[in-house]
Amino acid sequence: MPFEPVKYTDARSFIKETRARLRDAFSGKKGFCYDSGGVDSTTCAKLVIGAVGEKGLTNILFDHGGMRKDEPKNVLFSLNKECDIPTIFRDYSEFFLRRVMLAGTDADKKRDYGVSGSYFPLAIKDAKRTGARYFVQGTIGPDVIETVDKGLKRQHNVILEKQRRMFQNAGVEVVEPLIDLTKDKVRKVARELRLPKSVTERKPFPGPGLHCRDIGQVTRESMDALREADSIVMKDLESYTAEVSKEDYQCLCALMKNKTVETAIGKDYGFKIEGRPRMTIDKVTGMVNNQRTYTHMLLIDAPDANIPELVNASKEIVADNLDGGIGRVAVLLACNRSGKYNAFLKSILTKDFKTAKAAPIERPKLEKVAEQLLIEGPESIGQVYYDVTDKPPGTIEFE
């Protein structure tokens, strides 16, 4: 019988009923799961393996080349040892890197050519390789809402009609136990399953990983630089964000080529800007009136302004200059050379990830993180900015 997702009332009964339905659906047949080590996919794998056992589920750590520094080996250890989920490894990093590089600078094409465009065809190949009748994935409710209902972004793991037909033709059934849950409910299920805190409290990480934080044209060099930068800034950035957060939060580091043009923003927003504002050549995603935008970033040097006033001004700046192609605002934190790349730090506070506020971290702390990146990081990074844009008009990710 086909698997039907369980309506969530509480974590314990959800686990019990979901596992019962999984046992009935599988009926001795095999399934497999792609696991990133994040809370959604790992909770999903733990649910299923608890229902059908190791013989019934092959759990696969899927490396698409966008994972963080040392993440493949660390996550593989965690899944096998700390989570007690027997897991094998598939290295698809070179395959995806080549495809993303061919896509050029357009964010949608990067997703079409990269993880989003190749994820499901690879799943069908792995189904044949493992002899699986079921493809299990940890897609959750907000993924579907933002992809299908609102069209704000394309989640790599959301099944559209084209993919559904593809799986049907291959004789593979897609099983999504968490499809009606929100992130907070997934965390409750994960805690009830006694998964480690490294999983239950892990902050969201996008499906394409660092590929969608390498803005514009991706190269092997830029991905290496971004991976190194991410490893340097993330610990302190998350620590400083946690200090000002009463809600959930997310931190990230992005990279963009240092290609800009001078621009004007029309009026005084209550703080002094040194020199002329600049606008990036590469574009980033945004969200205005529940519609996706694809615009440039405004880069400003306002050394005397504190972060809260910059955050407050950013929405007005975007509203005034959206017709001129400006959709986000970032302020310079540190600069010690004319490098090939600009790095962008971003921290947001949120209740549900549908909307978010730029974290009002004290400027000296952000500058400390930025200076550390310039000292310890790749020489190709010359300037570090902080994105002060809320969601909306920005989005959490840059692409």
Both structure tokens of 87: 């897991």
| pLDDT given at position 327 | 97
Euclidean distance between CA atoms 229 and 381, whole angstroms: 9
Place of tokens 């907070």: 184
Give residue-wise pLDDT tens across range 122-176: 899 999 999 999 999 999 987 787 676 555 556 667 777 778 888 999 999 999 9
Q: Which residues pair with 88 in a beta bridge?
A: 60
pLDDT tens by residue, 247-265: 889 999 999 999 999 999 9
For 325-336, what is each residue's pLDDT tens digit?
Answer: 999 999 999 998
Q: Which residue has the higher pLDDT, 120 or 381?
A: 381
**Angstrom distance (rounded) from CA 158 to CA 137:** 10
Flag the least confident range among 141-155, 237-251, 361-375: 141-155
**Contacts by 186-191 with C-beta closer than 8 Å and gap 24+?**
186/39, 186/40, 186/43, 186/138, 186/140, 187/39, 188/10, 188/11, 189/11, 189/14, 189/15, 189/43, 189/47, 190/39, 190/42, 190/43, 190/46, 191/11
Question: Which two tokens mark 375?
Answer: 């000292």
What DSSP line would sit under 158-169, residue for residue?
Answer: ---HHHHHHHHH
How much of the chain, in percent, has pLDDT values that exceed 90?
76
Instruction: Give the pLDDT of residue 149.
Output: 55
Please tell me the predicted confidence (pLDDT) of residue 35. 93
pLDDT class of 67 with cuts at 50, 70, 90: very high
Q: Are 68 and 172 in contact (CB under 8 A)?
A: no
- Asked whether residue 288 carries a pLDDT value surpassing 70, the answer given is yes
Of 115-124, 320-329, 384-393, which range is least confident? 115-124
Higher pLDDT, 248 or 7: 7
* CB neighbourhood size of 150 (10 A): 14
Q: What is the pLDDT of residues 88-134, one digit of tens each?
A: 999 999 988 998 898 888 887 777 766 666 788 889 999 999 999 99
Please give the pLDDT value at position 115: 62
Mean pLDDT of 224-239: 98
pLDDT(12) > 60: yes
pLDDT for 158 equals: 77
Q: Look at residue 238 and give its three-state secondary structure.
A: helix
Q: Which helix (H) or strand (E) holds 91?
A: strand 87-91
Tokens encoding 235: 């610990």
Give the CA angle between residues 56, 64, 204 to the nearest 5°. 85
**Is residue 302 within 8 Å of 378, Cβ to Cβ?**
no
State the pLDDT at residue 161: 77
Mean pLDDT of 7-23: 97
Percent of the chain with pLDDT over 70: 96
Q: Which pLDDT belongs to residue 153?
A: 59
Query: How high is the pLDDT of residue 159?
Result: 74
User: With contact defined as beta carbons under 8 Å apart, do 334 and 367 qualify?
Assistant: yes
Residue 135, Cβ neighbours under 10 Å: how many? 23
Pairs from 142-149 (Cβ < 8 Å, separation ≥ 24): 142/182, 142/183, 142/352, 142/353, 142/354, 144/179
Separation between Cα atoms, residue 58 and residue 72, nearest integer Å: 17
Domains of the chain, start order: 11-200 (3.40.50.620), 219-387 (3.30.300.10)
For residue 277, is pLDDT > 90?
yes
Do 361 and 290 touch, CB atoms closer than 8 A?
no
Q: What is the pLDDT of residue 146?
A: 66
What value, to the nearest 5°, has the Cα angle with vertex 72 and ends 68 and 75? 100
The whole-number pLDDT of residue 351 equals 86
Mean predicted lDDT score pLDDT of the chain = 92
